[in-house]
């Protein structure tokens, strides 16, 4: 008897797997989406393996093992041997044998290594924030949309309030109150990031709720929870997936922007925005400091945007089949 049950379940999974493969096929067909997807996968792979590719110890500024937050008085930049730029009271010349593909930053660290170390930081952030915002916003929106009435109105008003918050100001306030740390920054971004999901999900729920299959389920005697979680939400989730993918790039940019503006807990933290912050004052002398981290940010955002766009086209149930 056990085999019958197992067979039933495998049959079910086989059907869903075939469905998934169809989605992948559709995605493969669009060259832009394919390119974006590959780039995105590359970055994700990189972020998972960064610590194995390069030595994370290199992030510690050389000569400042117990760094406390004071900027070094003297810095030196170099692009390969022989070139030097300096300012400030001291001069330092780099004349070692190493070749820095992307140059060095203010502490003499290899920029390429720093970027590789920075990618996991950004991606991890983006994942955490996007997933948390999407999950929270989705649940709230689903609840509001399904229940309707006063609850719906209340949730909408609260959402509107949060929507009106300027993210930057909120981050400032948080930093002032709770200190500059990654978790507080994440919270600040999260608080302004979830409202669109509420709206999105609520809209989807409102339209799915009216569909005939929901009525059929009610006639069958299904309870509200079952209908909402097992049926409506899975059918309504597609725009959320698309939005989350698109948002991914947005979060990377936002977080980097905050870092760039000085919210970084430590100035030497390898993070794309932070690395760029170092260089904006020295654009003409050491342009690579802004250009390369910026390019990487661009690529990450672009890759996920492309995938998100492709998903939007592919997951629309009307266009499938």
Binding site for other proteins (CB under 8 A): 1-2, 4-5, 7-9, 11-12, 14-15, 19, 22, 25-26, 211-213, 215-223, 226, 230-231, 234-235, 317, 320-321
Nearest-approach distance from CB 31 to other proteins, in angstroms: 17
The residue (of 83 and 320) whose beta carbon lies closer to other proteins is: 320
Nearest-approach distance from CB 27 to other proteins, in angstroms: 13
Nearest-approach distance from CB 6 to other proteins, in angstroms: 9
The residue (of 83 and 211) whose beta carbon lies closer to other proteins is: 211
Q: How far apart are CA 76 and CA 104, in angstroms?
A: 8
- Count, in order, helices (H) and strands (E) of the chain: 13, 0
Nearest-approach distance from CB 308 to other proteins, in angstroms: 21
Q: How far apart are CA 40 and CA 303, in angstroms?
A: 5
Nearest-approach distance from CB 78 to other proteins, in angstroms: 55
Contact between residue 50 and residue 117 where contact means Cβ atoms under 8 Å apart: yes
Contact between residue 22 and residue 282 where contact means Cβ atoms under 8 Å apart: no
Q: How far apart are CA 32 and CA 45, in angstroms?
A: 20
The residue (of 98 and 153) whose beta carbon lies closer to other proteins is: 153
Report CA torsion sign: 255, 261, 266, 270. positive
Going by C-alpha positions, the residue among 190, 196, 188 that lies closest to residue 170 is 188
Token pair of 256, please?
């980097």
Nearest-approach distance from CB 239 to other proteins, in angstroms: 15
Could you please report the per-residue DSSP string of 13-34? HHHHHHHHHHHHHHHHHSHHHH
| Cα angle value 62/180/158 (rounded, 5°) | 150
Nearest-approach distance from CB 9 to other proteins, in angstroms: 8
Helices (H), 210-271: 212-220, 224-226, 233-236, 238-258
Q: Give the helix/strand (H/E) hosting 136.
A: helix 111-147
173-185 burial, b at 16+ Cβ within 10 Å, e below that, comes to ebbeeeebebebb
Nearest-approach distance from CB 13 to other proteins, in angstroms: 9
Contact between residue 145 and residue 202 where contact means Cβ atoms under 8 Å apart: yes
The residue (of 27 and 258) whose beta carbon lies closer to other proteins is: 27
The residue (of 19 and 285) whose beta carbon lies closer to other proteins is: 19
């Amino acid at each position: 008897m056990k085999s019958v049950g197992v067979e039933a379940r495998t049959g079910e999974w086989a059907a869903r797997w075939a469905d998934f493969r169809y989605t992948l096929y559709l995605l493969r067909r669009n060259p832009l989406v394919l390119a974006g997807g590959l780039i995105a996968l590359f970055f994700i792979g990189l972020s998972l393996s960064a610590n194995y590719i390069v030595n994370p110890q290199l992030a510690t500024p050389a000569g400042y093992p117990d760094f406390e937050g004071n900027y070094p008085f003297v810095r030196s930049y170099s692009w390969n041997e022989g070139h030097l730029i300096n300012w400030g009271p001291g001069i330092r010349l780099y004349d070692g044998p190493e070749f820095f593909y992307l140059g060095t930053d203010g502490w003499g660290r290899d920029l390429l290594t720093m970027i590789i170390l920075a990618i996991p930081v950004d991606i991890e952030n983006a994942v955490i924030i996007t997933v948390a915002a999407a999950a929270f916003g989705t649940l709230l929106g689903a609840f509001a949309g399904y229940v309707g009435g006063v609850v719906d109105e209340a949730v909408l008003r609260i959402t509107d309030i949060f929507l009106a918050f300027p993210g930057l100001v909120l981050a400032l306030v948080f930093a002032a109150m709770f200190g500059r740390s990654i978790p507080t920054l994440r919270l600040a971004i999260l608080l302004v990031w979830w409202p669109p999901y509420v709206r999105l999900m609520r809209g989807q729920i409102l339209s799915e709720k009216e569909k005939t299959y929901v009525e059929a389920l009610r006639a069958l005697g299904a309870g509200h929870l079952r209908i909402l979680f097992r049926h409506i939400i899975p059918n309504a989730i597609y725009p959320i997936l698309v939005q989350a993918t698109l948002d991914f790039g947005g979060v990377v940019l936002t977080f980097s922007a905050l870092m760039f503006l000085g919210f970084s807990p430590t100035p030497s933290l390898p993070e794309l925005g932070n690395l760029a912050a170092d260089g904006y004052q020295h654009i003409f002398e050491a342009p690579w400091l802004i250009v390369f981290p910026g390019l990487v940010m661009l690529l990450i955002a672009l890759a996920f945007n492309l995938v998100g766009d492709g998903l939007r086209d592919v997951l629309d149930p009307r266009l499938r089949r």
